[in-house]
Structure 1
Amino acid sequence: MAIHRNTISKMNKQFAKDVKLGLSETPKNLSSKYFYDEKGSTLFSEIMKLPEYYLTNAEFDIFKNQPLDIIQLLEIHKTSYFELIELGAGDGSKTIELLKVLEHENYHYQYLPIDISQKALDQIENTVAQQLPNKKITPKKGDYFQILNELKNSPFPKVVLFLGSNIGNMEDALANSFLKKLSKNLSKGDKIILGTDLKKEKDIVLPAYNDSKGITRDFNLNLLERINRELDANFDINQFEHVPEYDELEGIAKSRIRSKIDQKIPINSLNLTVSFKEKETIHTEISRKYDDVILEKICTNTGLKTIGKLMDKREYFADYILEKKS
C-alpha cells in the first residue's frame, strides 16, 4: 500500500533515519530502542511474565524483601525531604514496594517518574493511586536528561532509580557516557539505584532471550513488522528468524535477526531496497551482564562510587547503590 506524502511527513523522522542508516551499514543493525511501539510494549509485558525471564522477578525480590536495607544504604532520614526520581518506571511494580515502606515509615519525599511515554506515566500513576491512595506523585514526560537538568537546581537531595538492567542494553563505553551525563545532572551526595543483571551460566541466561513460547522471537521480529507498518516496507517475517546468543565468559547476550534466504526488501518511503544474503544478520540488542569489576569499569571518571549492593536470594541480579562523590 502506498503512503501519501502528508502521512510520511508525520512519521517518526528519527526512526526512518536510523532504519536507513542501520540497514545500509555492514553489519546491519537496528536500535533496540525501537522495540517499544504499541505491539512491542505489549509483547515485552508478556515476556516479563515468562518463567524463563528471571530478571523482573529477581529485582522485584530485592525491592519486596529488602526495602529497609535499600533505605539504610541510601542514608536517608525521616527528618529530611528528598526527591525520588525514576528513569523509565515501567509498570512501577518494583518501585511501589519501596514506596509502601517509605509511606509506612513516614519518610518525607516526592516521587517523580520520568518517561517519554504518556501511557507509561498514566499506568504508574494509576498503580500508585490504587495501592497508595493518599500518595500524590509528580510524573514528568520527556527526555531523561532534559527533565533532570530542569530538576538540578532543586535544593533537595535526590535518589535516581534506573532499574531493570536497562544499563545493560548499552555497550560499556556508552554506559560510561550515560553515567557521566547522569552524574553531571546530580549534586554531591545524591544517590543512584542501578539495577544490573549479573554474570551467570548460559543455561540460565539464554532461555530468557529464547523462551519456549516464542514470545521473545515475536518481540524481536516485530522490529521488521514495525518497518512494514510505518515505512511501507515489504519484509516477509517468515523469511527471517530470531537468533539469540550468550558469551558466558564475556557476560554479553546478543539478539539478531537472520535472513533465511537471499532476498531484496523494498522500503518504499525511504526509496531504499535492502539486500540480504542467506544467513546475513541484523544486530538488534545487547544485554550486558555485570559483576563488581565491570561495574567499576563503567563508573570510571563519572564521579560516582559504589557504596552498597543488594542481591536477590538466588544472586541472579544486583541493585548497586552509587553516590556522587564529586
Structure 2
Amino acid sequence: MSPFRLTRTLPKDATEAALRADVLHGLTCSPKTLPPKWFYDARGSELFDKITELPEYYPTRAEREILAARAPEIARATGARTLVELGSGSSEKTRHLLDALPGLHTYVPVDVSESALTQAGHPLIAERPHLNIHALVADFTAPLLLPRTPGPRLLAFLGGTIGNLLPAERAAFLTSVRALLSPGDALLLGTDLVKDESVLVAAYDDAAGVTAEFDKNVLTVVNRELGADFDLRAFEHVALWDAEHEWIEMRLRSRTEQTVKIPALDLAVDFAAGEDLRTEISAKFRKQGVRSELATAGFDLTRWFTSPGQQYGLALAIPARTTAARSPDFARITACVR
C-alpha cells in the first residue's frame, strides 16, 4: 500500500497571525471587509456542505456533472501522472479525475485544513493502493513549494473559487500558477458563469437561511479567536448582484448603530445603522473573459466544457510556449496581494 505523506508548510502560528492581520486590515478599511476563507472552521465547513445540497445552489452539482461526463476526455488530453489540487477539501469531486487517469502516479491535495486532508487521504489510499498521496497543509494564496513529482502535471482549481479573487488578485494568482507548470502540464479551472440575476441571488440567499447562517459564521470565528463581541443578531445577511463587475457580493448589514470591540487587537470598530461588511465576492465569467485572463497569465485555452444550461464552465489550459518554465526541482506560487 502506498504511503500517505503529509507536509505542513504553514508555521504553527500562521493561522492566528493571518486572522489578526486580515481582521485588522479589513475592519479599518472603507468599505469594511473580511476574507471568505474565515468562514471555514468546523461549523462553517459543515454549513457549506449543507449549502451544496440546497436546491438553489447549482455550482457544485453542475461542476460534478461536467467532471463525471468529461473526465475521460480530460485524462486523454493531459496524460497526467501527477494531479495537484488547490483547495482540495474532501477531494470528493476529484475522484472523477482520479478514476479517469490510468497512469496517475501521485496526487497532491493542497488545503489549509490538516484534518480535511487526513480524512480525505486515508480512504483514497485504501481505494487506490498504488497511488502516492503527498498532501500539503498550505495556503495556496501564500508562497508555496510543491514537491518534485512525475510529469505531466494537471493542476486543478475547482469549485469556482477563482471567483472569490478580485481581478488584480486573479491576474497575480494565475500568473503564479503558470510559474508552477512546464511544457506538457495543464490547468483545469472551474468557473461559474454569468446567468439570470434571480438564479444567482437565490444561490447565495437560500430560502432556508443556511447561507445566512454560514455568512454570520465569520463573526463567530472572530468572536472565538480574537475575543470580539459581535452580536450576530445585530447583522443581517445580504446577497447582491453587481451587474457592472458581474459578481455576487455577500454582505453582513448592521441593523443598528453599534460599536464592536476586539480585545486581541485593542480595536473598537464603529458601524452605522445600515452599514455593510463585505464577506465575499463571487465573480461570474464568460468564456471569452476566461480565455483573455488565461492568455494574460501565459496560458492557451484548449478545451471548454459546460454543464447543461450553460450554468458552469471548466477550462482546460496549457502553458503558452512564449512563457518561462518552472524550476526543475520546485515550483513557487507567490502571494496574491490584497
State the distance in 1 between where 2:123 and 2:41 align: 21
Structure 2 residue runs without a partner (length 5+): 1-12, 324-338
Q: 2:25 aligns with which of 9, 21, 24?
A: 21
Question: What are the within-5 Å matches in structure 2 for residues 26-45 of structure 1?
Answer: 26-45=30-49
Change in Cα spacing, 1:296 to 1:283, as seen in structure 2 (3 Å) is same
Aligned to 1:3: none
Secondary structure of the residue aligned to 2:292 is helix
Q: 2:229 aligns with which of 216, 225, 234?
A: 234
Change in Cα spacing, 1:10 to 1:137, as seen in structure 2 (3 Å) is closer
Q: 1:178 aligns with which of 146, 161, 173?
A: 173
State the distance in 2 between where 1:299 and 1:309 align: 12
Larger radius of gyration: 1
User: Is the Cα contact below 8 Å between 1:73 and 1:321 reproduced in 2?
Assistant: no
TM-score, structure 1 as length reference: 0.88
Change in Cα spacing, 1:154 to 1:98, as seen in structure 2 (3 Å) is closer
Q: 1:120 aligns with which of 116, 119, 125?
A: 116
Matched to 1:230, the amino acid is: E
User: Is the Cα contact below 8 Å between 2:107 and 2:131 reproduced in 1?
Assistant: no
Aligned to 2:52: 48
Secondary structure of the residue aligned to 1:173 is helix
User: Is the Cα contact below 8 Å between 1:114 and 1:144 reproduced in 2?
Assistant: yes
TM-score, structure 2 as length reference: 0.85
Please report how far the alpha carbon of residue 183 of structure 1 lies from its aligned counterpart in structure 2 after TM superposition.
0.7
State the distance in 1 between where 2:15 and 2:190 align: 33
Matched to 1:59, the amino acid is: E
Question: What are the within-5 Å matches in structure 2 for residues 111-150 of structure 1?
Answer: 111-129=107-125, 131-132=127-128, 135-144=131-140, 149-150=145-146
User: Is the Cα contact below 8 Å between 2:155 and 2:186 reproduced in 1?
Assistant: yes
Matched to 1:165, the amino acid is: G
Change in Cα spacing, 1:147 to 1:130, as seen in structure 2 (3 Å) is farther
State the distance in 2 between where 1:173 and 1:17 align: 20
Q: 1:195 aligns with which of 190, 194, 219?
A: 190
State the distance in 1 between where 2:103 and 2:150 align: 17
Farther-moved stretch of structure 1 (290-299 vs 215-224): 290-299
**2:61 corresponds to 1:65:** no
What is the root-mean-square deviation of aligned Cα atoms in Å?
Answer: 2.1
Deviation string 1:123-151 (CA, Å, 9 cap, x unpaired) is: 22144245445544222222437886443
**2:255 corresponds to 1:255:** no
Aligned to 1:285: 280
Deviation string 1:42-70 (CA, Å, 9 cap, x unpaired) is: 11111111111111000000111222222
Change in Cα spacing, 1:168 to 1:35, as seen in structure 2 (3 Å) is same
Change in Cα spacing, 1:150 to 1:135, as seen in structure 2 (3 Å) is closer
State the distance in 2 between where 1:204 and 1:156 align: 40
Farther-moved stretch of structure 1 (10-19 vs 315-324): 10-19
**2:151 corresponds to 1:156:** yes
Matched to 1:123, the amino acid is: Q
Please report how far the alpha carbon of residue 13 of structure 1 lies from its aligned counterpart in structure 2 after TM superposition.
2.1
Secondary structure of the residue aligned to 1:254 is strand
Please report how far the alpha carbon of residue 226 of structure 1 lies from its aligned counterpart in structure 2 after TM superposition.
1.3
State the distance in 1 between where 2:237 and 2:142 align: 35
